[in-house]
Structure 1
């Protein structure tokens, strides 16, 4: 067995199941409201469903690892329209992937030299795939705490030159999970300069980029920042996105990676052996989804309605802010976040996720401590009901 498997920590939801095993929400007589998992619950777009039906004949052939040329071209066009940049070369700078999760894991296996004693730098709180990818690639994760005084953006300036010198890969989550803040251009400039100086790759996880709450201010993306800073070749940068959140298609397992052509070429080589080609059926649905924005705008409007309704209820009783982009609230708890989560389920039949479960202690601080992540993925009525119960719980447990 690979000894590095022993380094992996339980996934947050496995820890959550154990934590909540002794809660008894049934005794409340209330129906469960589950706001713990970031799994979109809105309807999948009909155009994607119809594309699947129309493409079933495509199951009879092996798909290309590089992806269908039409899909690569559609993704390139979407990137150009969304970020107002010259379209990336669909032949060398774009690869379809089976959801951003598998690609975010696989990129570490591609770029990390396991014999070099390298570091993989991660935001903290973070998506646990970053940590697992680093460990299984033979590197050591290094966590950069979110700064609560700066909208929970990662405090990249706190990282020492010695750490950057050992860094082989930097994961950026933009917009961030869980606080939903967007990294400004000046931070991108700093990271690009550090990547050039210390020779590391930046992997920008942008799966929440299309769930922004101000229609006039779409989040700045990594490729867009690169172009703005004169890095039209996207050197040292690869950007990841997905249809899971944008188009409510988490079960489709479809996304893309785009950026530096040299990195993409090596990534394609890895994926040739990894066995992660996208089927014709998924390709057809993906092509339909990337070429339509109407369902995406409607999706954002639904989330806005939920944030408006829920924050009106929770704002007076909790320290909680409206995010720039994402479907989460990152709320402060009056006592230990794990105990709060247990008590909330036990007394109000509402399930959330402890903030400390998506964070690690770094420099003596766990930035998720005494916070919970609330996923507003359920229907509006359920989110409102959950918010009312949380507010009642807060009133009774100040």
Structure 2
């Protein structure tokens, strides 16, 4: 019996020694995410949150009643956002994160509705509240954040233009969240990309993949990584690989298709396959993205190596998803959360979830009614008839882990053959590409 006790003691020592400091991430300092103790007898974990596409809209830029602004109503009912609730939703998530106490928060872009300076300053202040609570925040710009000509106040009718921000102002406003952070290692001289080292064995690679093209018709924004920025990433990844440092990358536009045929409908980053393989060759395995407002994960294998595009939903699109993850030396454990209530009285006393579902259904219907004639040549009557099928598929895609109900599949099969191309697209939305979206362990080593 005594020998057996010695065996168990030896086994315990062996397990603990496998978590030696030089083989694992340094334990975070006392505070958020570490149970206030640097002496846990488990391998230290880093707790990481991800929120995306906040599209924060200050209430002062909206009318008291959104129906008082025809311009705003026209905007909302061609889109997939519940902008009028962005303020209480974001404040709710900030409060939840302070209670959750992650070590790190990643935000892959679209912080403000359309790049309004007022909105950016409010977001900065709320992110500072998170930093003050001990949470390290890192951001990159989205396609709506910088030099956006659509920065308006809808408090007046017609809307009034308000100040937007430049790239330099973005880096200044969010300086504490990557660009001048105390953990900053490198800034790319050709873009708003950077590398921070919040823990001794972890880099955060913030990639600016927004391309601005000025044409005679105005500003065109798309997704691309500059060749100079790619060369900079590849150079820095050599150092990371030599030192055995884990690298978590984030950028706004996605790099992999999240449903079959996506790149023909919703543009991905330019040259996405070649860029994905170049990043994989450099040693990157995980990229956190946003833009499409869906909580969805896909993977791609190349030369025996996987790449995961981990897309996080939007805080203005139901079901308002965000992610809480735990990272250790071998795995990242990804979980998803949803905003289910806010501190706001809604019209008619309806619940937050009822209001959200009613409004997003009507708005995505309007989105399809507007775009189907323009993209596919449908009549308005045909677009109105088909819109609910597209809306159901889109809502399922936003939520992740989508699986088409039998009755919905039967309805799609019964549609006239003239709708066949659109039915194929909707079935793609309903078909979840592997792996799982909302809750998953991914091997990181």
The TM-score normalised by the length of structure 2 is 0.28
The TM-score normalised by the length of structure 1 is 0.31
Q: Which has the higher strand share?
A: 2
Q: Which has the higher helix share?
A: 1
Q: Determine which structure has greater relative contact order: mean sequence separation of CA pairs < 8 Å that are 6+ residues apart, divided by chain length.
A: 1
Q: Which has the greater radius of gyration?
A: 2
